[in-house]
């Protein structure tokens, strides 16, 4: 028979360590208190706090002991070094992107100039306790706004690093020559395989002209690709005394794109021409003769003269032996004034066979016969040749 288990009530069980009683022996906490470890820790903490407070007070006293003018100079130097370093970094990035080679002497020179400019601006315009008032008599609540306004005006004035030189305006569209007796023949959309023949004819008549070139038009390949004919043709244009202008990289309508795209169209061609010639133009013929007020503002910022024309041969509509007569008649009827009081800027293209085979010879003959001079647009505007281009 199985043994029955005897039930035991909880109250009858004797616990070795009752629940509500404390430990019978000393705990670690008791030992620590007995050894005074807590007192030692508090004393050490107070000592560390005292050292930190003294160091902080000494630092504060040292900072307060600096004369305001010294503190202002040190703050100016700190900000100037930071801004000049940023300027140097951005300059290197831009040169790497758009220049043929990075010119370290030029970058270093520009950084030095920027350091001086930033230092002057920070010292004179940055708010400081030693310089709370920039304009005496102006309420203090307006002093900060005045500083911001001055910074903005300086930035707006210096936003373009390309100086405007000479008397020819930058940005507004120019349609006419300034000097009488000149005919400025211009050729858009090139270079092409037909351009050498144009250059031959111009040499034959001792005439100069202006070529507004594209970087990549009609899928002919990049203008600075050494595997193409274009670099040698561009160099021949320049060596013969002709003027080279920009017609954007890919013949974009500059009135229909935003400022970022305009900037890319212009600077991409600049980089290509720097690769070929070592410099880039300051004259632009906008594709489709289209450059609205926003475009003109961007071109002024980029340092470009915007050239259109007052004689359109419409050779792009008459590229056939029968139709080219229309372009000839348009030119002949337009060149009707006396050289003593008349001058013209003529639009044509060095990418159409009838222009190079027929129209150009007629224009050169008539210019010579009527007593005009075939010149570049820079010459007909009285702009010295050194203003036609910019160095990178």
pLDDT for position 51: 57
Q: What is the Cα–Cα distance from 127 to 143, expressed in whole angstroms?
A: 9
Residue 256 has pLDDT above 70, yes or no: yes
Q: What is the Cα–Cα distance from 53 to 97, expressed in whole angstroms?
A: 53
Of residues 69 and 4, more confidently modeled? 69
pLDDT for position 358: 97
Residue 336 banded pLDDT, cuts 50, 70, 90: confident
Over residues 100-143, the pLDDT tens digits come to: 567 788 788 888 888 888 888 777 777 666 666 666 677 777 77
Per mean pLDDT, which range of 115-124, 155-164, 195-204, 379-388 is the poorest?
155-164
Q: What is the Cα–Cα distance from 221 to 230, expressed in whole angstroms?
A: 9
Over residues 340-351, the pLDDT tens digits come to: 999 999 999 999
Q: What is the Cα–Cα distance from 131 to 69, expressed in whole angstroms?
A: 9
Q: What is the Cα–Cα distance from 271 to 279, expressed in whole angstroms?
A: 9
Over residues 27-36, the pLDDT tens digits come to: 777 777 777 7
Nearest to 346 by CA among 110, 164, 186: 186
pLDDT for position 331: 98
pLDDT for position 203: 98
Structure tokens at 206: 């001792």
Active site residues: 188, 349
Instruction: Residue 168: count other Cβ atoms within 10 Å of its Cβ.
Output: 21
- Rounded to the nearest 10 degrees, what angle do helices 195-204 and 230-239 cross at? 20
Structure tokens at 125: 């315009």
Structure tokens at 276: 């070929």
Nearest to 378 by CA among 270, 284, 262, 277: 284
Question: Would you report the helix, strand and coil content of the chain in percent, each value rounded to 5?
Answer: 50, 10, 40
Q: Provide the 8-state DSSP code for 131.
A: B
Residue 189 banded pLDDT, cuts 50, 70, 90: very high
């Amino acid at each position: 028979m199985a043994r029955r288990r005897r039930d035991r009530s909880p109250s009858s069980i004797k616990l070795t360590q009752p629940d509500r009683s404390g430990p019978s022996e000393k705990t670690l906490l008791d030992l620590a208190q007995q050894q005074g470890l807590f007192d030692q820790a508090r004393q050490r903490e107070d000592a560390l706090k005292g050292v930190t407070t003294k160091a902080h007070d000494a630092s504060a006293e040292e900072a307060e002991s600096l004369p305001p003018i010294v503190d202002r100079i040190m703050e100016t130097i700190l900000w100037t070094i930071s801004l000049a370093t940023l300027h140097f970094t951005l300059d290197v990035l831009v040169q790497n992107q758009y220049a043929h080679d990075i010119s370290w002497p030029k970058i270093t020179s520009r950084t030095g100039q920027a350091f001086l400019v930033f230092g002057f601006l920070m010292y004179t315009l940055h708010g400081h306790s030693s310089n709370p008032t920039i304009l005496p008599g102006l309420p203090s609540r307006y002093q900060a706004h005045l500083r911001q306004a001055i910074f903005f005006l300086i930035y707006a004035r210096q936003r373009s690093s390309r100086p405007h030189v000479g008397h020819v305006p930058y940005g507004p569209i120019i349609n006419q020559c300034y000097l009488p007796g000149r005919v400025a023949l211009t050729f858009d959309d090139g270079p092409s395989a037909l351009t050498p023949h144009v250059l031959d004819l111009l040499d034959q008549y001792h005439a100069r002209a202006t070529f507004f070139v594209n970087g990549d038009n009609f899928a002919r390949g990049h203008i600075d690709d050494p595997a193409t004919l274009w670099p040698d043709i561009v160099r021949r244009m320049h060596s013969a005394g002709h003027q080279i202008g920009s017609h954007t990289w890919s013949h974009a309508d500059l009135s229909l794109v935003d400022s970022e795209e305009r900037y890319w169209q212009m600077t991409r061609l600049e980089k290509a021409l720097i690769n070929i010639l070592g410099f880039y133009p300051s004259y632009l013929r906008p594709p489709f003769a289209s450059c609205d007020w926003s475009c003109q503002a961007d071109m002024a910022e980029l340092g470009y003269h915007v050239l259109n024309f007052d004689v359109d041969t419409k050779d792009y509509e008459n590229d056939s032996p029968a139709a080219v007569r229309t372009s000839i008649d348009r030119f002949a009827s337009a060149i009707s004034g006396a050289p003593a009081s008349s001058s013209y800027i003529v639009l044509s293209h060095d990418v159409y066979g009838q222009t190079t085979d027929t129209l150009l010879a007629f224009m050169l003959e008539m210019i010579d016969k009527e007593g005009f001079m075939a010149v570049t647009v820079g010459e007909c505007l009285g702009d010295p040749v050194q203003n036609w281009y910019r160095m990178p």
